[in-house]
Amino acid sequence: MPASLPTGVTRGPRFDDWTARVPRYVVCDVDGTLVASGTTASPPVAAAVAAARRAGLHVGIATGRLPQGLRALQAQLRLTVPAVVHNGAQVVHEGRALHSWPLPSGAASDLAALLAQRDLYGELYTGTRFLVTDRRPAAHRAWEIVSGPPDGLVDELDLDVDEVLKATVTVHEDDELDHVLTGAAALGLAAEASTSPMFPGELFVNVTAPGVGKGVAVAAVATGLGVAAADVLAVGDGMNDLTMLAAAGTAVAMAGSPAPLLALAHLVVADAASDGAAAALHAAVGWAAGRGPTTGRGGPVRSTR
């Protein structure tokens, strides 16, 4: 039988398939994982990140946010690992883009026309800048909390020339969601719906180039750090974390995550309001110090250091 897991960590549906290893790169989603609300982590989560960094672990983030929406969090946590932003469409470090996976040429123009058909609000991201379809009052709260005011209107872009990394569309009804999902698929783009605990009742659709997601970008960061996929521990709570958890050697889901994400989890921790990410980080620190469980296969935690 496996040894007891650390406090606050329980078995997930894939526990018996887990080959436990000391994680060298711990990557966490932001909203709903590291951050329960606002722009910074709770004191327990911040302390757990600091402990992981002192233990020599690489700690990074993977988010749908744009870079300027992370400044307060990165300053608080003193993160130095390249960040995955724009839902995996870009990796940035110290203000410089290391990897980018933009929409295909011409796709942004077609997407803007799709949104105009239903008067849907959308944001298009070009690296550190973001442009909006319009300045409707309902969008202002997100600007105040996450990104700051937009840099302009989509109409100001040359959508056939300017490189667009990601679009985020706000929808409120099932037929609006279907319109965006089917329309994006018809354009050959990837689209997935997500929610944010900061905006209850809101539904967002992230649109990227096909094959783009947090999993690909996290793999690129791991390669740059010299870390094998098996030594990555990923923590997430939303549908846009699916590819990240699927690619990680240790997949951790927050309690209350959607069923498809929970199905990928080797381990489960409490939700963001209960500082579940702190439990995952402290577990990683314990394993790095040699205080590890055995897996369902009966083997001890293995270190590749």
Contact between 204 and 195 under an 8 Å Cβ cutoff? The reply is yes
In CATH terms, are 9-99+213-288 and 107-208 the same topology?
Answer: no
CATH number for the domain whose boundaries are 107-208: 3.30.1240.10
* Rounded Cα gap, residues 184 and 40, in angstroms: 33
Q: How confident is the model at residue 301 (pLDDT cuts 50, 70, 90)?
A: low
Q: Where are the domains of the chain?
A: 9-99+213-288, 107-208
Does the domain spanning 9-99+213-288 belong to CATH 3.40.50.1000?
A: yes
3-state secondary structure of 184: helix
Tens of pLDDT along 19-41? Answer: 988 999 999 999 999 999 888 99
* Rounded Cα gap, residues 264 and 62, in angstroms: 17
* Rounded Cα gap, residues 191 and 261, in angstroms: 17
Question: Measuring CA to CA, how many Å separate 114 from each of 118, 140, 192?
Answer: 7, 23, 16
Tens of pLDDT along 241-298? Answer: 999 999 999 999 999 999 999 999 999 999 999 999 999 999 999 999 887 665 544 4
Render 137-149 in DSSP notation, one character per residue: GGGHHHIIIII-S
- DSSP 8-state assignment for residue 62: B
